[in-house]
Amino acid sequence: MKIDLVTIFPGILDGPFRESMIKRAVEQNLVDINLVDLRLYTEDRHRQVDDNPYGGGYGMIMKPEPIFKAVEDLKSRSEDLPTKVILLAPQGRSFNQQIACELAEEKHLIMICGRYEGIDERVRTALVDDEISIGDYVLTGGELAAAVVVDSVVRLLPGVLAEEASTEESFTEPLLEYPHYTRPRVFKEMEVPPVLVSGNHGEIARWRREKSLEITFRRRPELLKKVNLSPEDRDYLEKIKKQQS
């Protein structure tokens, strides 16, 4: 997969892909991440990427020409790859694991990081295929949002995570994770649940399932509607509900 990140602040995106799992994925050529400085696509002396809004009002708007030029250039450089152009902006559809999985199937992503008060609408109408928000809050720009999206997409690419981890992990099924423990067995008088040291794999799996169901029920009950619940799961949830009332 190839990912081009179009930004006026490439420095913000320098760090996140130089560490840990994403760094390894880049080194192993599982993904090619390319930071693209939007100012390189300006032609004026001041390398201007923004301008005043028509109709007046507060703030500056990102100009369309450099963005169109950048995207056209990046598309032409990877002619053979089908490309998806994504704008990171608070108005976009809410990002989630399902969208991460969809994007992980793509061959070439161009992500445009919005800045200032907004972006010329013609970028949206004629250039962008998908608009993504990472949550209902406003960042100073789309760079950190792009880093979040790239991180969650790249870890899904074949070969990046251990096979087992990607199928077992939380959100393959939309249940929250059960609690984890490591050594020491007793820490500040808090003991690891005995079932986890019992060696009984069936019981351990059942305990984990029940903890996941319980945490999801207490924190994000709406997620349970999307889970395939077994008869045992249903009995367990009934038990918790009764305890609560």
Distances 155 to 28, 100, 101 between C-alpha atoms, Å: 13, 10, 10
**Least separation in angstroms between CB 78 and ligand ADE:** 24
CA–CA distance, 204 with 195 (Å, rounded to integer): 6
Q: Considering the rule CB under 6 A, would residue 134 count as an interface residue with ligand ADE? A: yes
Give the bridge partners for 125, in sequence order: none
From 2-10, 46-54, 116-124, 132-140, give the range in contact with ligand ADE by CB under 6 A.
132-140
How many C-beta atoms surround the C-beta of residue 4 within 10 A? 23
Burial of 113 (0-12, 13-18, 19+ CB in 10 A): buried
Binding pattern for the stretch 79-118 against ligand ADE, x by CB under 6 A and - elsewhere: ---------xxx-----------------------x----
**Least separation in angstroms between CB 117 and ligand ADE:** 11
Q: Considering the rule CB under 6 A, would residue 135 count as an interface residue with ligand ADE? A: yes
Using the minimum distance from each CB to ligand ADE, give the nearer residue, 71 or 175. 71
Burial of 162 (0-12, 13-18, 19+ CB in 10 A): exposed
Q: Which residues of 82-94 are buried (b: 16+ CB within 10 A; e: fewer)?
A: ebbbbbbbbebee
Q: Considering the rule CB under 6 A, would residue 59 count as an interface residue with ligand ADE? A: no
Q: Per this entry, what is the length of the chain?
A: 245
**Least separation in angstroms between CB 135 and ligand ADE:** 5
Q: Considering the rule CB under 6 A, would residue 193 count as an interface residue with ligand ADE? A: no
The one among 142, 147, 155, 236 contacting ligand ADE by CB under 6 A: 142
Q: Considering the rule CB under 6 A, would residue 133 count as an interface residue with ligand ADE? A: yes
Using the minimum distance from each CB to ligand ADE, give the nearer residue, 10 or 141. 141
Strands 190-191 and 186-187: antiparallel
Residue nearest to ligand ADE (CB): 145
Q: Considering the rule CB under 6 A, would residue 53 count as an interface residue with ligand ADE? A: no
Cis, bond preceding 16 (omega within 30 deg of 0): no
Which residues are at the interface with ligand ADE (CB under 6 A)? 88-90, 114, 133-135, 137-139, 141-142, 145
